Amino acid sequence: MGKKKEKKEINEKVDVEAVEIEDDTWWWLTHKGIGATFLCISVFALLVRVAVSLHPYSGAGSPPKFGDYEAQRHWMEITLNLPVLEWYRNSTGNDLSYWGLDYPPLTAYQSYFHGLFLRFFDPDSVSLFTSRGYETYVGCHSSRKNDCAWHIAMLLLNPCLILIDHGHFQYNCISLGLTVAAIAAILSQRELLASCLFTLALSHKQMSVYYAPAFFSHLLGKCLRRKNPIHGVAKLGLTVLGTFTVVWWPYLHSTDALLGVLSRLAPFERGIYEDYVANFWCTSSVIIKWKRLFSVHSLKFISLTATVLTCLPSMVQQVMAPSSRGFLYGLLNSSFAFYLFSFQVHEKSILLPLLPASLLALEERRPFKWLMFYGLFSMFPLLCRDKLVLPYFALHALFMLLYHAPCGHGGRPRNARPNNTKFDYFDSFKTFMNGFIYLSSFILHIVYLTMHPPEKFPYLFEAIIMLICFYQFALLAFYTNVKQWSLLEHSTTEEEKKLI
Amino acid sequence: MESSSSTRQLLWFFAIAVCVKLLLIPAYHSTDFEVHRHWLALTHSLPLSNWYADETSPWTLDYPPFFACFERFLSIFAHYIDPQIVDLHNGLNYRANSAIYFLRISVILSDLWLLYGVYRLTKNADVKRRYLIWVLIVWSPALVMVDHLHFQYNGFLLGWLLLSISFLQEGKDLMGGFLFAVLLCFKHLFAVAAPVYFVYLLRHYCWKGLVRGFSRLSVLGAVVVAVFAAAYGPFLYHGQIQQVFNRMFPFGRGLCHAYWAPNFWVFYIILDKVFSFFLKKFGFSIQIPAASFTGGLVGDSSPFAVLPKISPSTTLIMVLLALSPCFIKAWTNPQPRMVARWIAYAYTCGFLFGWHVHEKASLHFVIPLAIVAVQSLEDAKHYFMLSIVSCYSLFPLLYEGQEYPIKVLLLLLHSILMWLGFSTKFTRASAPNTMVTAKKKGAQSKSIESSSPAAEKGGFTIGWVGKSYLLGLLLVEIWGQFLHPYLLGDKFPFVPLMLISTYCAFGIMYSWIWQLRWIISTT
């Protein structure tokens, strides 16, 4: 008996030592401090981004409307050549049906600065009218350099973000970067700065509103816990209003102008969904034809109610027990709620839940990997259209490799060995289901690339992809909501302990 | 268990590199791409007897027969994927996606042979050294720039070299010699190290008493002859040996390539220019020849105004002279552990004093030196400087704007990784295990001071000379990229390139002298 115990101890010791030796794998990378590691990873992330920008972009060489790249270039053209008030108005100079501006003013200002820069190097690319469809090399090249240069976030090798921003071509980095800065400010208790930064993010891309409930409920919860809640709320409110005023200044002189801008931001006439995005409305439209049954007006109302209802649990939790961890979960939950239930959601919006998920990656390893995998998968048809298949696979593989870095933070935690045989069946069933779905997703990739769908259902494959992804997103959203609520119980038990 | 996990880790390093290389597929590729595509077509469509005689394209086969067989092997798959790639006439300058993907992926896959060489070399090294060597070779930016952007198969060829070195280091001389002979039949440029191999093998393998030594010598000789016979035999049979050698050794190409490799001859040319300038000032009549070096032309005449003409045999003599200390050392004390250094030194001499050297040839000594870079602090410092200089000297290969951020970032990333890796390896005198133990087991073990006196003294730092040289590198780049076009516009377009060559030549000369000193000073 004693010998067995000794042996076990020795085994454990050997295990620990083996872990130590293997832990040294990345010790050389991290021993100089987090700064050096960050520098190293950032340079690698930059390299990957530059490499992706070698590949085709959305709408490359395809008249008459080209794609998102052309949209960005057109916005530079508009903002440089027309006065501020004209930017959102339909006029002879600014034909809104040709890639009209449909993001808030900060995007417009940013396009203006980029346009100035581009005009210095290549005036032809931004001259009004004559530059439509201008695709030269220089324009491509310098715009993408700008994109890289703007990057402030930590989570630099997010393949979804890299593919959308540097492949498909958008500037999500900026609004996401501002959001991350706001989150960082909240986590370091600088609430005024956080609200200012988030307002800026909101003024850059209206999609940042996905995070608004979390910010709102967390800050409200924090204020309520203070001695003077009204004072706190007032301060925050003033900061928000002040930032809005500064950014929207040119459009605030009349309600007309303001409404003009707002109507461009919320294109309700485009319908409750477009293409095949993995959210509730699109997926259930296989059975319930929403567009036929209801008018746009009633659909607006239904989707608003659904979104608010699904946000509510997470908001309530944060108001009752605000905490940093809860805040991150709150962000994840509110962005999920918006993604799944709101009006006119794009596939690219999966970037928004991905951001808090990556911030929570250390705690929720498996869910993060799932979300990344299925998020990428849900964007696969879009990326195929943009001919970004190779970067898709390369970045996906890179992400999986880094996730499973030898003795890094990926994979199964070392000491997680299920001891209880009772749960074995459930666990193995779960593993089997997950494995099955992974395998079918993988096969679907190949099928989508090589086979043609049947004549009767030309979008069959997109629909299947959408179904699978929706199922996974719904599961994950449910799981994270439950996790956030469990934080409430945890905090209440802690409070009880404190009282005792 | 240990070896399988280390294999997995090596494969992980390789997989990361593969992902980045895949992303670089649509990037710039040079005419070497068309060269290799044509060779696929050539070897596929024509019988053996026509391989070295064909004139369909200006890109004639100038590698030895084994490489041609390698291309033949690849062409089987190419034909299966897209027959037009291997079509002799219709495939000329074929740029379809199928061709680009096929050729790029073939280079990526051929790097597996390099991986095998690295694996064999680092099998018995300790963990930290192993990782460091992997980072230095598998993630080498020079290899990425030359093989996966510019387009060549150096990874594959260097794999043979590394394998040969690994066998020699283990004492298996016959195998090492055999692999080197095979390598020579893949690319004859590697023959610069043949004298060193010869001396070493003679002394270490064959010098074992009259009978045994002689039998070993004959075995070794037989093996080498067999390899060469397998390669050149078929051409001997067809009576084409002369044609093959003509193609393989195109000496009508001039002392320097159009873009000067950073070697000794750079100084020779500049000295010549300086002399002719001053002598002209003093009234002597100096003939400035038409095909001047600065014109970028490549021709047979070595247009030196003042200094004596250089011929291929002169360069050969100089290479052998430079190698002589190495011969002496290899003869007097043939030790397996010194083999990598001697071979790298041989290639350094070949690079510095050789005829018509390409800047890509710096790969031949930088990669083997990675093996010895981890052995001591001095080696690490030397390798740090050499690697950066040689990688920078490859920059002019990728002259298009869209690759500029890539090559800069590759070099930057490599420098950071080297810095981190070397400073880890050489600042801690005590094993890191103890440090981690202290962290994990808490108060049980004694807490080891993080900086023992010995470690602080021997830290990985670059002296002020090195730092200023690297700063100078940065200034050369800023001049070439920004100041020159801004201040001088289109005038003197050769000046930035000349500057890069000359500046890097200083670095490589330093490396040569350092290696020479090291070889002489060891027992």
Condensed to tens digits (0 to 9), the pLDDT of residues B367-416 reads: 999 999 888 888 999 999 999 999 999 998 888 877 888 899 999 999 98
Q: A399: which residues sit within 8 A by CB, 6+ positions away? A: A157, A158, A159, A372
| Chain center to CA of B339 | 17
- What is the rounded CA–CA span in Å between residue A62 and residue A483? 46
Instruction: List b or e across A468-485, with b for residues whose CB sees 16 or more CB atoms inside 10 angstroms.
Output: bbbebbbebbeebbebbb
Q: Which residue has the higher pLDDT, A81 or A346?
A: A346
Q: Using an 8 Å Cβ cutoff, are A76 and A126 in contact? A: yes
Q: Using an 8 Å Cβ cutoff, are B313 and B506 in contact? A: no
> Mean pLDDT across chain A, nearest whole number?
72
Tokens read off for A186: 């909240």
Angle (nearest 5°) at CA A364 between A361 and A369: 70
Give me the helix-helix angle, A34-52 and A137-149, nearest 10°: 160
Angle (nearest 5°) at CA B393 between B388 and B397: 130
- What is the rounded CA–CA span in Å between residue B481 and residue B483? 6
Closest CA to A277 of A330, A343, A213, A358: A343
CA end-to-end span of chain A, whole Å? 43
Q: Do B406 and A47 touch (CB under 8 A)?
A: yes
Q: pLDDT band at residue B457, thresholds of 50, 70 and 90? A: very low
- What is the rounded CA–CA span in Å between residue A267 and residue A345? 11
Q: Do B420 and A28 touch (CB under 8 A)?
A: yes
Would you call the peptide bond into A64 cis, given omega within 30 degrees of 0 as the criterion? yes
Over pLDDT 70: what percentage of chain B?
89
List chain B residues with CB under 8 Å of A57: none
Angle (nearest 5°) at CA B138 between B462 and A52: 100
What pLDDT, on a 0 to 100 scale, did the predictor assign at position B300? Answer: 44
- What is the rounded CA–CA span in Å between residue A199 and residue A195? 6
Q: Which residue has the higher pLDDT, B465 or A416?
A: B465
Closest CA to A393 of A404, A407, A408, A379: A379
Q: Which amino acid is at B254?
A: G
What pLDDT, on a 0 to 100 scale, did the predictor assign at position A123? Answer: 52
Tokens read off for B198: 């010869």
For residue A221, give the H/E element and its range: helix A212-224
Q: pLDDT band at residue A149, thresholds of 50, 70 and 90? A: very low
Q: Do A29 and B402 touch (CB under 8 A)?
A: no
Closest CA to B148 of B107, B202, B99: B107
Candidates B8, B128, B409; nearest CB to A43: B409
Helices (H), B238-357: 241-248, 264-281, 312-332, 339-353
Maximum average pLDDT range among A138-142, B2-6, B49-53, B362-366: B362-366
- What is the rounded CA–CA span in Å between residue A305 and residue A284? 17
- Whether chain A has a CB inside 8 Å of the CB on B521: the answer is no
| Strand positions, DSSP E, A52-159 | none
Work out how many CB contacts closer than 8 A connect A with B. 109
DSSP summary character for residue B446: P
List chain A residues with CB under 8 Å of B432: 24, 27
Answer whether residue A413 shows pLDDT above 50. Answer: no
Q: pLDDT band at residue B225, thresholds of 50, 70 and 90? A: very high
Q: pLDDT band at residue B484, thresholds of 50, 70 and 90? A: confident
What pLDDT, on a 0 to 100 scale, did the predictor assign at position A495? Answer: 58
- What is the rounded CA–CA span in Å between residue A115 and residue A113? 5
Q: Which residues pair with B256 in a beta bridge?
A: B357
Tokens read off for A242: 């002040």
Answer whether residue A222 shows pLDDT above 80. Answer: yes
- Whether chain A has a CB inside 8 Å of the CB on B20: the answer is yes
Closest CA to B460 of B425, B411, B507, B414: B425
What pLDDT, on a 0 to 100 scale, did the predictor assign at position A91? Answer: 61
Q: pLDDT band at residue A499, thresholds of 50, 70 and 90? A: low
Answer whether residue A287 shows pLDDT above 60. Answer: yes
What pLDDT, on a 0 to 100 scale, did the predictor assign at position A53? Answer: 78
- What is the rounded CA–CA span in Å between residue B407 and residue A260? 46
Nearest-CA distance A455 → chain B (Å):
28
Mean pLDDT of B112-140: 90
- Whether chain A has a CB inside 8 Å of the CB on B12: the answer is yes
Q: Which amino acid is at A115?
A: G
Q: Do A31 and B402 touch (CB under 8 A)?
A: no
Q: Do A43 and B12 touch (CB under 8 A)?
A: no
Q: pLDDT band at residue A314, thresholds of 50, 70 and 90? A: confident
- Whether chain A has a CB inside 8 Å of the CB on B463: the answer is no
Q: A391: which residues sit within 8 A by CB, 6+ positions away? A: A52, A55, A162, A163, A167, A383, B23
Q: Is residue B467 exposed (0-12), middle (13-18) or buried (19+ Cβ within 10 Å)?
A: exposed
Nearest-CA distance A453 → chain B (Å):
24
- Whether chain A has a CB inside 8 Å of the CB on B431: the answer is no
**A55-92 per-position pLDDT tens digit:** 766 545 554 555 566 666 666 666 666 666 666 666 66
> Mean pLDDT across chain B, nearest whole number?
84
Answer whether residue B171 shows pLDDT above 80. Answer: yes
Q: Which residue has the higher pLDDT, A279 or B253?
A: A279
- Whether chain B has a CB inside 8 Å of the CB on A112: the answer is no
Q: pLDDT band at residue A497, thresholds of 50, 70 and 90? A: low
What pLDDT, on a 0 to 100 scale, did the predictor assign at position B49? Answer: 85
Answer whether residue B441 shows pLDDT above 50. Answer: no
Give me the helix-helix angle, B65-81 and B31-45, nearest 10°: 90
What pLDDT, on a 0 to 100 scale, did the predictor assign at position A318? Answer: 85
Mean pLDDT of B46-58: 85
Helices (H), B202-299: 210-237, 241-248, 264-281
Residue recorded with tokens 């979104």: A307
Q: Using an 8 Å Cβ cutoff, are A315 and A330 in contact? A: yes
- What is the rounded CA–CA span in Å between residue B460 and residue B423? 5
- What is the rounded CA–CA span in Å between residue A400 and residue A406? 12
Residue recorded with tokens 């350099």: A145
Mean pLDDT of A25-50: 70
What pLDDT, on a 0 to 100 scale, did the predictor assign at position A131? Answer: 46
What pLDDT, on a 0 to 100 scale, did the predictor assign at position A279? Answer: 84
What pLDDT, on a 0 to 100 scale, did the predictor assign at position A206? Answer: 82
What pLDDT, on a 0 to 100 scale, did the predictor assign at position B364? Answer: 93
Q: pLDDT band at residue A276, thresholds of 50, 70 and 90? A: confident
Q: Which amino acid is at A189?
A: Q
Mean pLDDT of A379-387: 84
What pLDDT, on a 0 to 100 scale, did the predictor assign at position A82? Answer: 66
How many Cβ atoms are within 10 Å of B474's Cβ, its own excluded? 10
What pLDDT, on a 0 to 100 scale, did the predictor assign at position B227? Answer: 94
Q: Is residue A203 exposed (0-12), middle (13-18) or buried (19+ Cβ within 10 Å)?
A: buried
Q: Is residue A98 exposed (0-12), middle (13-18) or buried (19+ Cβ within 10 Å)?
A: middle
Specify the range with the lowest mean pLDDT, choosing from A217-231, A262-276, B135-149. Answer: A262-276
- What is the rounded CA–CA span in Å between residue B70 and residue A229? 77
- What is the rounded CA–CA span in Å between residue B371 and residue B373? 6
- What is the rounded CA–CA span in Å between residue B188 and residue B204? 24
Residue recorded with tokens 């291929």: B312
Interface probe, candidates B409, B411, B423, chain A, greatest A C-beta count within 10 A: B409
CA end-to-end span of chain B, whole Å? 38
Q: pLDDT band at residue A169, thresholds of 50, 70 and 90? A: low
Q: What is the pTM of this model?
A: 0.81
Side-chain half-sphere of A11: how many Cα atoms within 13 Å?
6
- Whether chain B has a CB inside 8 Å of the CB on A39: the answer is yes
What pLDDT, on a 0 to 100 scale, did the predictor assign at position B505? Answer: 92
How many Cβ atoms are within 10 Å of B130's Cβ, its own excluded? 20
Q: Which residue has the higher pLDDT, A153 or B435?
A: B435
- What is the rounded CA–CA span in Å between residue B383 and residue B136? 10
Q: Which residue has the higher pLDDT, B291 or A431?
A: A431
| Strand positions, DSSP E, B337-415 | none
What pLDDT, on a 0 to 100 scale, did the predictor assign at position A462? Answer: 86
Q: Using an 8 Å Cβ cutoff, are A265 and A233 in contact? A: no
| Chain center to CA of B429 | 33
What pLDDT, on a 0 to 100 scale, did the predictor assign at position A80? Answer: 66
